[in-house]
Structure 1
Amino acid sequence: MTKPAISFWFEFASTYSYLSAMRIETLARERGVDIDWRPFLLGPIFAELGWSTSPFNLQPAKGAYMWRDMERQCERFSLPFTHPVPFPQNGIKAARIAWCLRKSEWIGSFVRAVYAAEFGQGQDISDAAFLACVLVDIGAPAKNVMQRIETGEVKDALRAEVEEAKRLGIFGAPSFVTPDGELFWGNDRLDEALDWALRHPG
């Protein structure tokens, strides 16, 4: 019998992806659902819509609501929260690293550490030295990974992830895709997506 699984599409610049990333492993483990970690970039998708930055920057009222909502949600989930500057952060290198680690034992720890630094402490996640330190702290092969993310193979792979996200109809993060192709968007759909995966294992 196929074990239930869910694809977790996340973007490191995404505020609501932070909320999901900090919870998804625990919630999935409780249900016996596997996670397919899918880092990607929203920038190219937004650019096709003519957006040069996050819609939360383009629409001030929407942005103001989001920041206040993040304060509420982080209080609800007992997560630290800081408004990082600049926003959105440049998460390209972090996404490449996550792609390299996506099938490894370190993926969850890496993703949580980056999000916690960004939205919990306001750190600059584009800094290569910071990312290398995260890899060292979680016991991953930092030197090898930092060299690998500068290769054409990894850069092309992340571009391919963006194309796959578009093919699946993904337009924002976090998004969750179940084996039967059902798409759920937003942190508030995480539990529903996991439950759907249990009922429709593929």
Structure 2
Amino acid sequence: MTQPVVSFFYEFASTYSYPAAMRVDEAAKAAGVRVAWRPFLLGPIFADAGLTTSPFNLNRAKGDYMWRDLQRVTGALGLALTRPDPFPQNTLLAARMATALPDDGRRADFSRAVYRAEFGEGKAISDPQVLAALADRLGLGGAALLVQAGTDTVKQALRASVDEARSHGVFGAPSFVAADGELFWGNDRMEQAFAWAKGEKPGPAAG
């Protein structure tokens, strides 16, 4: 039987994508599902909706709640949490570097390192030197990866990921898309996405 695949759309500026990225591979393995790591950008999708920044910045009460909730979520997972300044950060280069890496474990490793640096340590992931150092620590060749991230091929691939996210109706991150196009939004919907991908679809409620 072919192993079900779920596409994991994540944005490096997304707060809840941080805990999702740190646990998705282990959760997928336990569920018998394969994850396709899909970095993308929320900026163009927010712009489509007339937004110029994170909704968490536009609504102070919602933003305050999110940061407190994220403390609970990361605390339960044993993850460090440092609020980056500014928030959200410019994640274009990080997304391009992740896109340039093959989805064979190297993209996931780099992406987790970016999240740890950003939300665990409060580092500026818009800084090419920070990103290159993260790649070097993983043996990924930071300088070469920076060059590759600037190629037209990688830029077009990232744009294609944004367009694909749009086509699935993605409006936030993290988002999980099953092979049949079913969309699940949020770190707390991960397990539901995996169950759906395996054919464990809930029937209609009794009335």
- The CA deviation string for residues 108-128 of structure 1, in whole angstroms up to 9 with x for no partner, is 211111001111110001111
Residues of 2 paired with 1:94 and 1:102: CA distance? 14
* Percent of aligned pairs with the same amino acid: 53
Corresponding position of 1:56: 56
Residues of 2 paired with 1:17 and 1:103: CA distance? 17
Alignment check: 8 A CA contact 1:42 1:172 kept: yes
Say which is worse superposed, 12-21 or 189-198, in terms of deviation.
Answer: 189-198
Residues of 1 paired with 2:106 and 2:186: CA distance? 24
Residues of 2 paired with 1:161 and 1:140: CA distance? 22
- The CA deviation string for residues 135-169 of structure 1, in whole angstroms up to 9 with x for no partner, is 11111133322111111121122112111111110
Shift in Å, 1:105: 3.0
- The CA deviation string for residues 181-200 of structure 1, in whole angstroms up to 9 with x for no partner, is 11000011011111221226
Corresponding position of 2:160: 160
In structure 2, stretches of 5+ residues that fail to align are 201-207
* SS, match of residue 7 in structure 1: strand
Corresponding position of 2:107: 107
Alignment of 1:160-179 (within 5 A): 160-179=160-179
What TM-score do you get using the length of structure 1 for normalisation? Answer: 0.95
The amino acid of 1:8's aligned partner reads F
Corresponding position of 2:77: 77
Shift in Å, 1:37: 0.7
* SS, match of residue 35 in structure 1: strand
Alignment check: 8 A CA contact 1:132 1:146 kept: yes
Residues of 2 paired with 1:26 and 1:86: CA distance? 31
Residues of 2 paired with 1:164 and 1:198: CA distance? 22
Count the aligned residue pairs: 200
Alignment check: 8 A CA contact 1:13 1:88 kept: yes
Shift in Å, 1:104: 3.0
Residues of 2 paired with 1:132 and 1:37: CA distance? 20
Corresponding position of 1:27: 27
The amino acid of 1:93's aligned partner reads L
- The CA deviation string for residues 37-82 of structure 1, in whole angstroms up to 9 with x for no partner, is 1100000111111111000001111111101111111111111111
Alignment check: 8 A CA contact 1:37 1:102 kept: no
Say which is worse superposed, 100-109 or 63-72, in terms of deviation.
Answer: 100-109
- The CA deviation string for residues 81-116 of structure 1, in whole angstroms up to 9 with x for no partner, is 111100001111111111111423312211111001
Residues of 2 paired with 1:47 and 1:196: CA distance? 30
Alignment check: 8 A CA contact 2:18 2:119 kept: yes
* SS, match of residue 9 in structure 1: strand
- Output the aligned Cα RMSD: 1.2
Corresponding position of 1:187: 187
Corresponding position of 2:47: 47
Corresponding position of 1:8: 8
In structure 1, stretches of 5+ residues that fail to align are none
